[in-house]
């Protein structure tokens, strides 16, 4: 390591990190408790300790549902954009090439995976990315995804069929709409359905909601997806572009097959000329079609900061400090840094689990299997609770096919289903926000979108807390992808992996603060409180 | 380290990072080139190597301008919100208490620093924050700030007086407005003025611009502060709330003194009811009054991503890959993570330099010194080039005081001037964007704001490149704070510290990618190209 080399412009040099000069460190004007040499050692020690902490955590193992081995034709695996036969079953050599690339991690192997068309795989090598903070992706685990033939898979698929059928029903009408009433009634009857229930029943008020505290309280949509937010020197409302009612995609087998083979869709979204507040599953699905990772968390953070100090977590060391306020630490800059880095670590974890462990097929692919069984083209062991469901027969009545109608013309993105990337990054971001803000703070002037999405009305009902609405936000973003047809309910277990990512980052940085700080204290998705 | 303890809700437990289970690692379904044990070691090795790389960089020393020792009454130091005498000179015991707190880093010492009023210090303990990635704040350096009595300080203060006088002049009118013409002429005559010049002269086209490549090309304002940007499922224009013309603050000595003593201003901003595109120094100053760290960089990133793959850096490993696209690595998620974390590291560096090394007084404080000298109340060694300047006399003619008219009612924030936090975070963010995007890409359909800020007009002139407009963005954000009266030109040297932060993060993550990647290649602010 030497001083940086001064060169003329246009000359390329390998760079050294610091702006170095010829000053003698002994002449430093710096004040502080330690000299630069000691500080240098302390900085290294903190990094090494954080790295060691993560290294010494247990290796948890990576169980899967075994479907990939159980079905030699890979009908239960993610195969989109590889080449497929006329029934949409993957060409086995291509799948084996994908597995070889994933197994070797050789970048060259990835460039020669045979694709069926022109659409490409999304970032399988992201599965190997290392991070410098928090848990390594490979040191996290998640329960196996529901198996292809299981009763849980049956109810999950039925739920997404119902979500497709009810995309245009305003959340405000769930209590009265015949289709949402039928959805709740049928989901109650599945032998295994893990969505929220009241007294053992799915109701219009639990329908398509999450299992986290707060998700069942008040309106379907979190306040953080409706309230105006400050964006520097302007205020932005949360009316977003959406798509028109009644236009669904991939409901013909030929279109479905072409897209499975990696060709673009033959038609596109039809956009509503009016921006609207999110009022139904279609709006929510379109919102999570276009969002960037941590967009929702950034917006939530800006809303929360707008509430002022009274909404900060009780552990914030500056909360009642007479002389100082936070900014770089325990303030705006700290919060924005942590929510964004947690989002990406969560996605690294998701990509590892998706590509290297589970490779679960998407609901769109499962819909093709249902189609082939019910038309007699194939005989796959799909659970009869699904094949005999009202959800599937209603879809057939409406669309003349058993395929899962998609909200996005292109269908799902080109990476496996389990866990959902959106669930992972929103789980991470929401966890970070629970660490920095006061979960029990009651959101002032709560709102509910009108059924046409053109206005916000005052909401009167139970108090909506920051903690509850953040959990609801997590559920909305994760399950909003199901509303579009690209994920199942269990894919939202990625929330827990996101939480793990966020907690790992908080742990890593535990010794980096000078402040008297008792630790971040908040409630996990499972209801347990932690101090970090 | 053991498996996480399952507890009932409401019970607090100290948390372990991973979601752990009872599965045997030997039964893992994971595929990949290494088993979990090897991966665990590799992950640690990468972290340790990155930490060691930073540790072994030279300790550069922290020179300062020596003013704090030269002036026992601390007239050249940052003292705002401490108690002051009738001339606005700090009460020495209070300053010594601040220095003792900073020297010991004892959190208790910070809580007993005597303040003059109710406004608090911004996060002095942020100066000690450690980070886990990139250079430690204490291992960066910057040249000393211009000294209180120097000719450079004189020209810097004259420049901010001129910026106050020309706040309401549209950038479009700089060529013809008498006040901007006078500003350019006078700044040309200072013996030491380090702003950009053409043939040795400051011109209306170099006035208040930055010294970085691209900052002199085309309109004053970067395209990234004018163009619409995509924000998920909506597009947002860059009209922002601004303040009305002609209303400046802290132009009476009593108001100035009260604010130095930590009391709130007696009047507030008057907002323009119309949102406007940034068209003059006042608009720009208000934009950087309300922004959150990395807001500008987020917007720029979203605009750049909207251009598509053709705007990606040539080094992106997915640029011509037939089978894969980037996302978690070398795509959207990667970019958003890195710009945000670079912003915060840059601010940690800024806070270290501000509080523990330089403690430079703000232009607002300097204005009080000028007032006292020119009214005969005190005899401070201010450089006569400033005292005799047209800038100062024009301010007196207009405001009946020699104080520096402020755009913000409260004046500057409560942390020392050098280096500027805005310069540091925008320098970091812009450097990250230069790493990920193609600097030579020409921005399509460039615009210029109308002189009333109500519309965008097509810009016809030299091509505006991504690299140039990013550098201009950095200059706009840094020097925009000078337009408001809260920083000097040399405070923008924080851009280089921000660049150092970004480069350090890129270096730290160098070994975390599986892709065949030749390294990030871009042009530094000084014109040198680097590969990292």
The string of DSSP codes covering A314-371 is TT-TTTT-SSEE-BTTBSHHHHHHHHHHHHHHHHHHHHHIIIIII-BPPHHHHHHHHH
**Among the ranges given (B24-38, B92-106, B165-179, B360-374), the one the predictor scored with the smallest mean pLDDT:** B24-38
Report d(CA B90, CA A294) in Å as an integer: 45
| Interchain CB contact of A325 with B (< 8 Å) | yes
Q: Nearest CA to CA, how far is B480 from chain A (Å)?
A: 14
Q: What is the CA radius of gyration of chain B?
A: 25
| Cross-chain CB nearest to A327 (options B14, B30, B126) | B126
With CA atoms as reference, the chain B residue closest to A39 would be: B138
pLDDT tens-digit readout, B244-253: 999 999 999 9
Measured between beta carbons, the chain A residues lying within 8 angstroms of B290 are 230, 232-233
Catalytic site residue from A84, A138, A289, A422: A422
pLDDT at A198: 96
CB pairs under 8 A between A and B: 512
How far is it between the farthest Cα atoms of chain A? 85
Does residue A220 contact residue A175 with C-beta atoms inside 8 Å?
no
pLDDT-derived band at A15 (thresholds 50, 70, 90) equals very low
| Interchain CB contact of A507 with B (< 8 Å) | yes
Q: Is the pLDDT of residue A12 over 90?
A: no
A422 is catalytic: yes
Task: Taking residues A398-422, report their average pLDDT.
Answer: 98
Best B68, B135, B323, B331 residue to mutate vs chain A (most A CBs within 10 Å): B323
Q: What is the DSSP letter of B243?
A: B
With CA atoms as reference, report the closest residue to A37 among B204, B139, B387, B232.
B139
Task: Taking residues A426-433, report their average pLDDT.
Answer: 98
Report d(CA A371, CA B18) in Å as an integer: 39
pLDDT-derived band at B28 (thresholds 50, 70, 90) equals confident
- Tell which A residues from 249 to 288 touch B, by Cβ distance under 8 Å: 275, 286-287
CB contact (8 A) between residue B287 and residue A232: yes
Best A7, A53, A324, A358 residue to mutate vs chain B (most B CBs within 10 Å): A324
Best B109, B239, B337, B418 residue to mutate vs chain A (most A CBs within 10 Å): B337
Measured between beta carbons, the chain B residues lying within 8 angstroms of A14 are 530-532
Using a pLDDT cut of 90, give the percent of chain A over it.
94
pLDDT at B24: 52
B289 is catalytic: no
pLDDT-derived band at A8 (thresholds 50, 70, 90) equals very low
Measured between beta carbons, the chain A residues lying within 8 angstroms of B495 are none
With CA atoms as reference, report the closest residue to A243 among A395, A453, A396.
A453
CB contact (8 A) between residue B356 and residue A329: no
pLDDT at A294: 87
- Tell which A residues from 455 to 484 touch B, by Cβ distance under 8 Å: none
With CA atoms as reference, the chain A residue closest to B503 would be: A17
pLDDT-derived band at A430 (thresholds 50, 70, 90) equals very high
State the first-to-last Cα distance of chain A, in angstroms, to the nearest integer: 36
Measured between beta carbons, the chain B residues lying within 8 angstroms of A214 are none
The neighbouring-strand residues paired with B465 are: B442
Q: What is the DSSP letter of A111?
A: H
| Interchain CB contact of B129 with A (< 8 Å) | yes
CB contact (8 A) between residue A11 and residue B528: yes
Q: Is the pLDDT of residue A27 over 80?
A: no
CB contact (8 A) between residue B326 and residue A123: yes
CB contact (8 A) between residue A24 and residue B64: no
Q: Nearest CA to CA, how far is B414 from chain A (Å)?
A: 10
With CA atoms as reference, report the closest residue to A434 among A404, A468, A464, A457.
A468
pLDDT-derived band at B19 (thresholds 50, 70, 90) equals very low
The verdict on ipTM greater than 0.90 is yes
Q: Is the pLDDT of residue A411 over 90?
A: yes
State the first-to-last Cα distance of chain B, in angstroms, to the nearest integer: 36
Strands of the sheet with B529-531, listed across from one edge: A12-14, B529-531, B521-523
pLDDT at A28: 84
CATH code for residues A130-531 = 1.10.606.10
Best A125, A432, A513 residue to mutate vs chain B (most B CBs within 10 Å): A125
pLDDT tens-digit readout, B183-234: 999 999 999 999 999 999 999 999 999 999 999 999 999 999 999 999 999 9
Q: What are the sequence ranges of the domains in chain B?
A: 130-531
Task: Taking residues B505-527, report their average pLDDT.
Answer: 97
CB contact (8 A) between residue A123 and residue B325: yes
| Cross-chain CB nearest to B103 (options A31, A63, A102) | A31
- Tell which B residues from 34 to 53 touch A, by Cβ distance under 8 Å: 36-37, 39-44, 46-48, 50-53
Report d(CA A51, CA A447) in Å as an integer: 44
Best A31, A278, A355 residue to mutate vs chain B (most B CBs within 10 Å): A31
Does residue A340 contact residue B341 with C-beta atoms inside 8 Å?
yes
CB contact (8 A) between residue A19 and residue B531: no
| Interchain CB contact of B507 with A (< 8 Å) | yes
Where helices occur in B166-268 by DSSP H, the ranges are 178-189, 253-260
Per DSSP, the three-state class of A124 is helix
pLDDT at A20: 41
Q: Is the pLDDT of residue A14 over 70?
A: no
Per DSSP, the three-state class of B82 is coil
| Cross-chain CB nearest to A516 (options B24, B107, B515) | B107
User: What's the whole-number average pLDDT of chain B?
Assistant: 94
pLDDT tens-digit readout, B126-177: 999 999 999 999 999 999 999 999 999 999 999 999 999 999 999 999 999 9
With CA atoms as reference, report the closest residue to A348 among A450, A247, A421.
A421
CB contact (8 A) between residue A232 and residue B136: no
Question: Please, what's the b/e burial string for A72-87 (b: 16 or more CB within 10 A of its CB; e: otherwise)?
Answer: eebbbbbbbbbbbeeb
pLDDT at B27: 65
CB contact (8 A) between residue B54 and residue A43: yes
CA distances from A483 to A166, A243, A281, A405, A498 (A): 9, 13, 5, 10, 21
Report d(CA A418, CA A416) in Å as an integer: 6
CB contact (8 A) between residue B17 and residue A334: no
Does residue B480 contact residue B407 with C-beta atoms inside 8 Å?
no
Report d(CA B119, CA A324) in Å as an integer: 9
CB contact (8 A) between residue B121 and residue A231: no
| Cross-chain CB nearest to A129 (options B127, B500, B514) | B514
| Interchain CB contact of B135 with A (< 8 Å) | yes
Report d(CA A124, CA A126) in Å as an integer: 5
Catalytic site residue from A138, A289, A415, A487: A415
Sign of CA dihedral B179, B181, B182, B187: positive
pLDDT tens-digit readout, A312-322: 999 999 998 99
Per DSSP, the three-state class of A513 is coil
Is residue A529 within a helix (H) or strand (E), and if so which, with residue range?
strand A529-531
SS (H, E, C) A378-417: CCCCCCHHHHCCHHHHHHHHHHCCCCCCECCCCCCCCCCC
pLDDT tens-digit readout, A326-359: 999 999 999 999 999 899 999 999 999 999 999 9
- Tell which B residues from 154 to 173 touch A, by Cβ distance under 8 Å: none
pLDDT tens-digit readout, B426-483: 999 999 999 999 999 999 999 999 999 999 999 999 999 999 999 999 999 999 999 9
Task: Taking residues B232-246, report their average pLDDT.
Answer: 98
pLDDT-derived band at A24 (thresholds 50, 70, 90) equals low
pLDDT at B387: 98
SS3 content of chain B, % helix, strand, coil (to 5): 45, 10, 50
pLDDT tens-digit readout, A239-283: 999 999 999 999 999 999 999 999 999 999 999 999 999 999 999
Q: Is the pLDDT of residue A366 over 70?
A: yes
| Cross-chain CB nearest to B20 (options A26, A58, A108) | A58
Measured between beta carbons, the chain B residues lying within 8 angstroms of A13 are 528-531
Measured between beta carbons, the chain A residues lying within 8 angstroms of B44 are 51-52, 54-55
CB contact (8 A) between residue B139 and residue A331: no
pLDDT-derived band at B294 (thresholds 50, 70, 90) equals confident
Q: Which residues contact B320 (CB under 8 A, 6 or more apart)?
A: none
The neighbour count for residue A209, using CB atoms within 10 Å, is: 19
pLDDT tens-digit readout, A110-158: 999 999 999 999 999 999 999 999 999 999 999 999 999 999 999 999 9
| Cross-chain CB nearest to A293 (options B28, B138, B332) | B332
With CA atoms as reference, report the closest residue to A32 among A23, A24, A42, A22.
A42
**Chain centroid offset of residue A479 CA:** 9
Report d(CA B365, CA B372) in Å as an integer: 11
Q: Nearest CA to CA, how far is B396 from chain A (Å)?
A: 31
Pairing of strands B456-458, B521-523: unpaired
């Amino acid at each position: 390591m030497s001083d940086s080399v001064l060169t003329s412009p246009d000359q390329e040099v390998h760079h050294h990190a610091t702006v170095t000069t010829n000053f003698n460190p002994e002449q430093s004007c710096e004040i502080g408790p330690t000299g630069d040499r000691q500080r240098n050692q302390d900085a290294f020690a903190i990094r090494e300790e954080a790295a060691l902490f993560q290294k010494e955590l247990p290796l948890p193992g990576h169980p899967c549902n075994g479907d990939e081995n159980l079905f030699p034709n890979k009908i239960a695996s993610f195969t989109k954009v590889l080449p497929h036969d006329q029934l949409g079953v993957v060409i086995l050599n291509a799948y084996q090439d994908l597995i070889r690339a994933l197994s070797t991690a050789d970048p060259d192997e990835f460039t020669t995976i045979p694709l069926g068309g022109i659409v490409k795989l999304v970032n399988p090598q992201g599965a190997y990315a290392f991070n410098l903070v928090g848990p390594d992706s490979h040191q996290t685990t998640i329960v196996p995804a529901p198996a292809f033939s299981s009763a849980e898979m049956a109810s999950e698929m039925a739920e997404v069929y119902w979500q497709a059928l009810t995309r245009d029903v305003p959340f405000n009408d769930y209590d009265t709409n015949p289709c949402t009433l039928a959805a709740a009634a049928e989901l109650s009857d599945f032998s295994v359905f893990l969505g929220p229930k009241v007294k053992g029943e799915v109701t219009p008020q639990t329908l398509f909601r999450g299992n986290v505290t707060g998700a069942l309280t008040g309106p379907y949509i979190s306040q953080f997806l409706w309230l105006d937010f400050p964006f520097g020197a302007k205020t932005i409302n949360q009316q977003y572009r959406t798509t028109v009612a009644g236009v669904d995609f991939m409901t013909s087998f030929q279109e479905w097959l072409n897209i499975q083979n990696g060709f673009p869709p033959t038609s596109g979204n039809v956009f509503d000329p009016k921006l609207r507040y999110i009022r139904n599953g279609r709006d929510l699905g379109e919102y999570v079609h276009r969002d960037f990772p941590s967009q929702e968390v950034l917006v939530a953070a800006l809303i929360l900061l707008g509430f002022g100090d009274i909404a900060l977590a009780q552990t914030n060391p500056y909360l009642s400090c007479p002389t100082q306020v936070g900014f770089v630490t325990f303030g705006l800059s700290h919060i924005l840094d942590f929510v964004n880095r947690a989002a990406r670590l969560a996605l690294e974890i998701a990509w590892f689990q998706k590509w290297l462990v589970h490779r679960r097929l998407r609901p769109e692919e499962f819909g093709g299997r249902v189609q082939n069984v019910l038309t007699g083209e194939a005989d796959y062991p799909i659970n009869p609770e699904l094949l005999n469901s009202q959800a599937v027969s209603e879809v057939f009545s409406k669309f003349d096919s058993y395929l899962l109608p998609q909200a996005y013309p292109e269908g799902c993105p080109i990476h496996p289903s389990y866990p959902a990337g959106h669930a992972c990054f929103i789980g991470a971001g929401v966890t970070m926000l629970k660490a920095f803000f006061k979960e029990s703070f009651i959101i002032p002037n709560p709102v509910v979108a009108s059924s046409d999405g053109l206005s916000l009305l005052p909401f009167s009902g139970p108090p909506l807390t920051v903690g509850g609405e953040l959990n609801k936000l997590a559920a909305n973003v994760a399950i909003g992808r199901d509303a579009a047809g690209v994920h199942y309910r269990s894919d939202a277990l990625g929330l827990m992996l996101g939480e793990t990512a966020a907690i790992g980052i908080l742990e890593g940085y535990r010794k980096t603060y000078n402040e008297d700080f008792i630790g971040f204290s908040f409630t996990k998705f499972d209801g347990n409180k932690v101090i970090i």
